[in-house]
A and B are shown apart, each in its own frame.
Chain A
Amino acid sequence: MILFVDDELRYVDSYAEELKMEGFELSPHESVDSAVRFFDQSRDQVELLILDIMMPPGTVFKDVDTEGGLRTGLAFYRHVRERAAKLPVFILTNVSDPAVDERFQGEDNCWFFRKDQCLPFELAEHVKKLLGKGLGASGNGGEHAKS
């Protein structure tokens, strides 16, 4: 199961459709509150997390410094890492700030993709490699990875 978290799912619908057509099961969430709830309850079923960065902090992260929501994805990521250190995570975002990119470069089992540089089928290829055959250290369209 892929946990897909983005506050505007309409904008990532093609990614979700592509993954579904490749046979992956998805649990899409538009709010971090419902996503955290789902993750905490169904942690063992989640094989991959696809995560946006800029999202409203919701109730669960209202006391965390998310820079007004600009870095909510980071708070979500920490929450997940504390509970599942090896869970693969794809960051899929429109954030172009290099500091965010760099923040994730040092993380294990974490890959960073910019939406304007990664098409739905390309993302699906990476997911297939990871969940089916494993993912290499580098690939297409602006992503980078460290594992």
Chain B
Amino acid sequence: MSSAFEFAEGLPGGIVPAAADLELNRIKIFSALTEIPFSEKAEVTALRKIAELGHQAMGSHACTLVFVNLDEKHVEQVACAGFDPEFEQRMAGKRISMGVPGDGCFVDYELIARGEVVEKYDLERGGQGVANPRTAQRYNLRAVLSYPLWSEKRLLGYFSHFSSKLDSFTAEKKELLQVFGHQAVVTIERFETERTRERSLRILNELSRGLLSLSHGDFLRRISEAARELLSVPTCILWQYVKGEQRLKIVSASADVDPEYRRFELDPNEPNVKGRLETKRVTQVADVTAPDALYTGKEEARKRGWVSILTAPMYVENNFVGILDVYSKQLRHFKRWEKEALGTFANQAALFLHSETRVEELNRIAQEMAESAGEKALFELTLDRALKLAGASRGWISRLNIRTGELSIEAQRGDPMGQALEFGQGITGLALKEERPYRADDVRDEKWKAIYEEFWPDTRSELAVPILIQNVEVRVGREVRRASKPIGVLNLESVEPGAFSSFDEACLLLLAREAALVVEKRETDRKLHELSRVEYEILGQRNWDETIRVVLSGITTALGYDYVNISLVDRELNRIRTEYIAGIPDDRAASFKRMANHSLDSDDIQADIVRRKEPEVPAEADPRFDRKIYEWFGHKDMIRVFVPMMLSPDKRVIGTVEAGHRRGFREQHIYERDVRVLRDFVDFVTVALEQRRKETLHRIMHEFAAPAAAIRSNASFLQRRMNELPDHIVQRKFDDLLLDAEILLLHVSQVERFLGGQPPSSKPQRTIVYRDIIIKTVNELKPMMAGHGFDLAKVKYDVRDIPRMILYVDRIKLNQVVFNLLINSIKYAEDDPAEFSIRILLDETSDRFILKFKDSGIGINKEFEERIFERGFRTPEAKRKFVTGSGLGLAISRAIMRELGGDLILAKIFKPTEFHLLLPKSLREPPE
């Protein structure tokens, strides 16, 4: 059997330092102590630190903190400092029963429940009602000084200082313990407030939803369960006022209320009951059994162990409808928020009890809202039904534009009069800004003068109800927090003063919440539907560039981001750099790409996302942002989410997707649901892109195999047979070898580019384009032409053009383009050799050189005239002619021409098929 204060053997007694050191040490300890309630994120860690500091400050054998649960008669170990960590871990969270000492337990309930300072000696002899004597003996726990932790007259627990000596505790020790105990209370209260705030929001939201979806009995049960859960009380009773009988009867109660009590009835005119009802406020009686307590039924309460009561009278439009009571089984002083929460529950219950017909009506409307077609129809319907419920004839629903803050009118009844408002403006804007309904009984009243914005000149009363979703998850950094999501405002007006009641307000609040949820659900459904269409489109894509184009378009159009940046990891160079971008003008995108290139070991945000492997919404001016990019490209005005592109089998990150939009006046975060939708899409895209990459690499590998195998077979053939072969065959074999080597080198350069290598910088050299490139390439391709039976004489050019085109250009790059065009003309020629022809013409008449390549091949279908320049794309006709091919040639050729300051265009698609190489005339001059 263990006790509440059980510890392992550990530290010797406190070591006494010199007085000055002691003072300095204490200052440090107190400084650290005051920060704990605000700096720690977890309650257990915070309390553990307090215990550690207490242990140091008081030179304790051990310092401990326990929570007390008087209802369930146990104490719980929360923090302990002074023993070995392993023992502390074993004890953490341990519950120890309280009762009468000697009757199977060691912790005295009566002693603990008193909530006074406990000072006990000789613990090893009998435990003194606070410890197991054997444990005390074993761990040398000889004396204890415990300070009760009270919060608003509620006993939370004890903070204790244990000594291994029997000396009396000094006054100084007692004062110190008090300081630490007080700080423990502040810390516990802070965490309790955070917890209850989140919990109460959740419970209230669920309750509101239940009002429109649960049956009568289920809803009443839910109210009592929710009140018990939120206020941590064992008992809840809901009384309904039966007007005809002038009695209050129990309509719902928690499970612990016995059948006998459920049959009780209350007389609302009985003085004690009447007294509480007349206040119309939530009130408490600290001890209902006390002789002077204003409470009827003391004996019944005593029999059931009820001590404190919190009671909320229920009124709807000044009509009394019932009472909602909660009881605790120990003395308890309820906090303000607890009173407010019970008041809210009581209002919900009142609404329900007062008008079951109206609740049924609300239920029906909620169903209609869910079935309405589109947002416009939803708002029209909501407004019509709201007007009918409140008996009004004019009103409107405005939708918030989260980028601009404008409230645009989406539905309106009554003659159009006023202008749309802005967030925070008028009663409408205020309702949304403060996230609560505003009811003005008379807008001409002085108190509304500074706020009210006239819409209709004869309006006297107004009710504005925010349409918003509370407690939505948002991503802040890498954490998920809670915030509200404003959608719009439901506004009703009347020419009569005081036209709207609190009951109307409560009903419309429910309608507005329902409308917000429907809007949110539809928005998410729309995004998912759009994305599934995009995903389907991606599945149909076979080439990389087109896949990326669909991805970028999906993120901007389906998910609504203004800006997208896809950065890819280059493991060989250990870098991450932007490869694709949307939302930046083309002329600036190139600069962006040059700048967005960082080492994977750097502190840059992209590198950090690759390392951390989780989505993040960094704060404004996060130090990991590249300062130049941040300032030059307006990122300081944007909110962005970064998602790693991770392959699931080995969690390998191949890049990042960054998506963002301009910070609206209220958009300080990105909703977690949107982050999840984007992350799922990025996961899908990552797999699809990796698949495309593998497919393309596979095709390229095959492109390598044919010329490589041919080189090998030709070399072997020559080696064995050269002496027997006539010269022209030998020559042809050497030509074949050279051509296949050229083809291999072309593929190598294509693969380099495909794998994302930076294009080599241009090395201009004086080049007679015809002689050094065109004629040379035609000669290299002779074997291929001969193989197809094509006549070399059918490749024609004008010899007078030879001296006209002498340029300072990167000869290797231009050669790659010409080689690619000519090899295509041969590969995709008609089968009949008689039809074969290639013509090369120079046009100098414009401001650029135009080198025209015309052939009489199979041509290009019009629908593919632009797509032939996409990486990986091959026309069906090309595939019919040659089964394999990487589809990279024209895409890379165009990229090369643009690097050279020119371009590659398809001028005619069929008979002749005509490609134009455009080159600036400035290339005639040698570079400076």
Interface residues of A (CB under 8 A from B): 7-15, 17-18, 21, 30-31, 54-57, 68-70, 72, 94, 96, 115-116, 119-121
Contacts and interface: CB of A to CB of B under 8 A. Distances in A.
A8 B703 CA distance: 12
A142 B717 CA distance: 19
B709 A68 contact: no
Contacts of B710: 10-12, 14, 115
A121 B720 contact: yes
Interface string B333-372: 0000000000000000000000000000000000000000
Contacts of A56: 880-883
Contacts of A14: 710, 713-714, 716-717, 733
B717 A120 contact: yes
Interface string B840-872: 000000000000000000000000000000000
B713 to A, nearest CB: 4
A119 B709 CA distance: 9
12 contacts: A10-B783, A11-B710, A12-B710, A13-B736, A14-B710, A54-B702, A56-B883, A70-B883, A72-B883, A115-B710, A119-B712, A119-B716
Contacts of A15: 713
B255 interface: no
Interface string B718-748: 0011001000010001001000000000000
Given A14-B714, A54-B883, A69-B879, 19 more contacts: A10-B710, A10-B736, A10-B783, A10-B787, A11-B706, A13-B736, A17-B729, A18-B721, A31-B831, A56-B881, A56-B883, A69-B880, A94-B702, A94-B705, A116-B708, A116-B712, A119-B713, A120-B717, A121-B717
7 cross-chain pairs, A with B, having the tightest CB-CB distances, nearest first: A69-B883, A10-B787, A14-B717, A115-B709, A14-B713, A11-B710, A94-B705
Given A10-B784, A21-B724, A31-B831, A94 B709 contact: yes
B93 interface: no
A8 B706 contact: yes
Contacts of A54: 702, 883-884
A18 B724 CA distance: 11
Nearest to B881: A56
B135 to A, nearest CB: 71
Interface in B462-483: none
Contacts of A7: 882-883
B540 to A, nearest CB: 15
Nearest to A54: B883
Nearest to A8: B706
A96 B716 contact: no
A114 B116 CA distance: 92
A18 B705 contact: no
Nearest to A14: B717
B498 interface: no
Nearest to A53: B883
B912 interface: no
Contacts of A68: 879, 883
Interface string B781-801: 001100110000000000000
Nearest to B831: A31
A137 to B, nearest CB: 24
B709 A11 contact: yes
A10 B710 CA distance: 8
Contacts of A10: 710, 736, 783-784, 787
Nearest to A116: B709
Contacts of B880: 56-57, 69
A53 B884 CA distance: 12
A115 B881 contact: no
Contacts of A8: 706, 787
Contacts of B706: 8, 11, 94, 115
Nearest to B733: A14
Size category, B interface: 20 to 34
A10 B732 CA distance: 11
Contacts of B721: 17-18, 21
A80 B733 CA distance: 32
Name which of A10, A57, A121 has the most chain B CB atoms within 10 A of its CB: A10
Contacts of A72: 883
Given A54-B884, A68-B879, A17 B717 contact: yes
Interface in B103-162: none
Given A14-B733, A17-B729, A96 B787 contact: no
Contacts of B724: 21
A54 B705 CA distance: 13
A56 B729 CA distance: 29
A2 B583 CA distance: 62
A4 to B, nearest CB: 14
A120 B716 contact: yes
Contacts of A94: 702, 705-706, 709
Scoring B702, B713, B783, B788 by chain A CB atoms within 10 A of each residue's CB, the highest score goes to B713
A106 B458 CA distance: 94
B707 interface: yes
A7 B883 CA distance: 9
Most central of A7, A14, A55 by chain B CB within 10 Å: A14
A55 B709 contact: no
B788 to A, nearest CB: 8
Contacts of A17: 717, 721, 729
A7 B879 CA distance: 13
Nearest to B789: A30
A8 B733 CA distance: 15
A68 B699 CA distance: 13
A8 B720 CA distance: 23
Nearest to B721: A21
A115 B729 CA distance: 21
Nearest to A66: B883
Contacts of B733: 14
Contacts of B714: 13-14
Contacts of B705: 94, 96, 115-116
Nearest to B705: A94
A117 B446 CA distance: 98
A52 to B, nearest CB: 10
Given A14-B733, A115-B709, A55 B883 contact: yes
A56 B707 CA distance: 18
A31 B830 CA distance: 13
A57 B876 CA distance: 13
Contacts of A30: 788
B862 to A, nearest CB: 22
Interface string B749-792: 00000000000000000000000000000000001100110000
A74 to B, nearest CB: 13
A120 B719 CA distance: 11
A72 B881 CA distance: 13
A54 B880 CA distance: 11
A10 B712 CA distance: 13
Contacts of B720: 121
Contacts of B712: 116, 119
A3 to B, nearest CB: 18
A59 to B, nearest CB: 10
Interface in B670-708: 702, 705-708
Contact of B717 (A18, A55, A115): A18
A72 B708 CA distance: 22
Nearest to B717: A14
Contacts of A57: 880
A91 to B, nearest CB: 14
Contacts of B882: 7, 56
Nearest to A11: B710
Contacts of A21: 721, 724
A36 to B, nearest CB: 15
A37 B664 CA distance: 72
A97 to B, nearest CB: 10
A136 to B, nearest CB: 22
Contact of A120 (B702, B708, B713): B713
A7 B712 CA distance: 19
A30 B712 CA distance: 21
